[in-house]
Chains A and B, each alone.
Chain A
């Protein structure tokens, strides 16, 4: 590893003593970060994988007797609530990832050339739901979605669009769409910031040259802007996928997974198993599966985005 050493090249060969000193110094600089990283990320990660092989609950600790091998994983695939939660999670990902990506690309393109304050204003507005935090967001939406007295039912009814109040969060078919809507408003902030930055970095002379050559707006977009913002799109896809897979706070605060598990997600079911059913091993098995799925999705997105023009 120390062989390919660009910094050392001009000084011919850096002596061994110096190199060892450099390594020691580097690790001293890294030490605080590494300590925290090891203790609170690496160790729990290993613990999670290992304990997922045990029937580890509040009453039965990790021991030879509670070892079940892949038992938890096998049980998961027979668990109706888990399968339902997985299905809901996939629906959330499949709907929200394209919606968020298209929308933020549209907003980004619409505002990136505007004057400073207009750009900051819109960027700020779309980031607002992220900043206010999921609890505040949920409180206000739940208040507006209220079955009996909420402002949405009031508005729809007094404008004559509906006759009977809609049970937004209590109806199996409607609840998941309410959650998708709220999730959408809390997901577009970061992608918009990224797209505004990426579009601002597109080589303007190329855009102008294309326009002089008579390219339409659409042609300019696909030929020049799209290739330039492709890494950003990839990043947006990955983070939105990861975030959607982890959708939790909205579910827990808004519907608690109900009615009859129609809005339960993997993350929420994991939480329920760990913190109200005290089935730690089972919950950790769920965590491992979720991590694997997210890793596969991210890898797939990298692959599909990388086919095509490379430069």
Chain B
């Protein structure tokens, strides 16, 4: 064991890594500083804003940006709750029950996951119109819940439930729901945490689905609202940049706080060899 020898290769690779990391951070840094800079300085190449103001935000909030933010939070939160609920029930059944048709159901879930989500969007719009919820937050929430990734993730986690624990609960006379709630759920809780944060971030950022489902100004999400500002004929860069920062701040904060769960979700979701 002991300390490793520092090779020239390691030094060069570390320097390179730091440089590339800077390239990745720079756009984020630029947008955060730009948002609080004076609107007249938008095009200046300053590394540090010469003047800190809230002017850009004041102008941004002439748009219904709070409503957009609220819609984004609502969609992400409700999708997260519904995904976690349906997926943990289904994942448990797929992992721990032996039933007729199990293989078919599971294969169907897996195959759907490999297909590009976007190809079903056009018919989905049709379905939402039939349900009368086109241009409504539920038109974004429902398809998100239908996507089988969560089921797959929760199946992986549910494999770790010791069968003896389930047997013991059965012998003690616990019903199915009770067993789920007091035996299964505590074991898969870390998985639910990972899935929750993963769903929240991905739903927040699912631009395409939001774009095709939501149209009226007050129903937009924050990302859509900003996209619309950006495609205006005359782009007002100050409020636009403030909006872009506003769209990023909540989700980046959540990511930083729950990074551990999030990375866990990604690794567990990968097909294991």
- A residues adjacent to B (C-beta < 8 A): 1-2, 5-8, 22-23, 25-30, 32-34, 36-45, 47-48, 51, 106-107, 110-111, 120, 122-144, 146, 149, 151, 154-155, 185, 190, 193-194, 197, 217, 230-232, 235, 238, 242, 245-246, 248-249, 252-253, 267, 270-271, 274-275, 280, 283-284, 287-288, 290-291, 294-295, 298
Contact = CB atoms under 8 A, between A and B. Distances in A.
B90 A133 contact: no
B85 A122 contact: no
Interface in B254-273: 255-256, 259, 263, 266-267, 270-273
Given A48-B119, A143-B241, A287-B118, A135 B223 contact: yes
Nearest to A14: B98
Given A22-B98, A133-B248, A30 B127 contact: no
21 contacts: A1-B101, A2-B99, A8-B98, A22-B99, A29-B89, A36-B86, A36-B145, A111-B17, A131-B205, A132-B247, A135-B226, A135-B244, A140-B34, A140-B244, A144-B30, A235-B270, A246-B118, A249-B207, A252-B211, A271-B212, A291-B116
B74 interface: no
For the complex of A and B, list the 4 residue pairs with the smallest distance between their C-beta atoms, beginning with the closest: A231-B273, A40-B146, A287-B119, A33-B90
Given A41-B112, A125-B21, 6 more contacts: A32-B90, A36-B145, A131-B201, A136-B244, A138-B227, A270-B118
Contacts of A154: 45
A110 B106 CA distance: 37
A280 B267 CA distance: 37
Contacts of B243: 139
Contacts of A242: 114, 116
Given A140-B30, A287-B122, A2 B116 contact: no
B252 A110 contact: no
B251 A131 contact: yes
A154 B227 CA distance: 25
Contact of A128 (B105, B231, B240, B252): B252
A33 B127 contact: no
Given A29-B90, A288-B119, A132 B251 contact: yes
A138 B230 contact: yes
A193 B97 contact: no
A33 B150 CA distance: 9
A70 to B, nearest CB: 18
B152 to A, nearest CB: 11
B240 A139 contact: yes
A136 B43 CA distance: 17
Nearest to A137: B27
Contacts of A132: 28, 247-248, 251-252
B105 A136 contact: no
Contacts, number: 271
A137 B125 CA distance: 27
A32 B207 CA distance: 25
Sort chain B's interface into a size bin. 35 or more
A294 B207 CA distance: 21
A244 to B, nearest CB: 11
Contacts of B85: 32
Contacts of A44: 120-121, 123-124, 126-127
Contacts of A129: 24, 27-28
B73 interface: no
Interface in B200-240: 201, 204-205, 207-208, 211-212, 223-224, 226-227, 230-231, 237, 240
B103 interface: yes
A177 B237 CA distance: 24
B259 A120 contact: yes
Contact of B223 (A7, A127, A133): A133
Interface in B98-144: 98-105, 108-109, 112, 114-127, 142-143
Contact of B145 (A27, A40, A139): A40
B166 to A, nearest CB: 10
B182 to A, nearest CB: 15
A194 B270 contact: yes
B263 to A, nearest CB: 5
A45 B120 CA distance: 5
Given A2-B99, A245-B116, A43 B127 contact: yes
Contacts of A127: 255
B148 interface: yes
B14 A25 contact: no
A77 to B, nearest CB: 18
B120 A133 contact: no
Contacts of B207: 133-135, 249
Contacts of A284: 119, 122-123
B92 A125 contact: no
Contacts of B212: 271, 275
B92 to A, nearest CB: 6
A235 B271 contact: yes
Nearest to B204: A133
Contact of A139 (B125, B143, B230, B251): B230
Interface centre among B143, B212, B263 (most CB of A within 10 A): B263
B69 interface: no
B146 A36 contact: yes
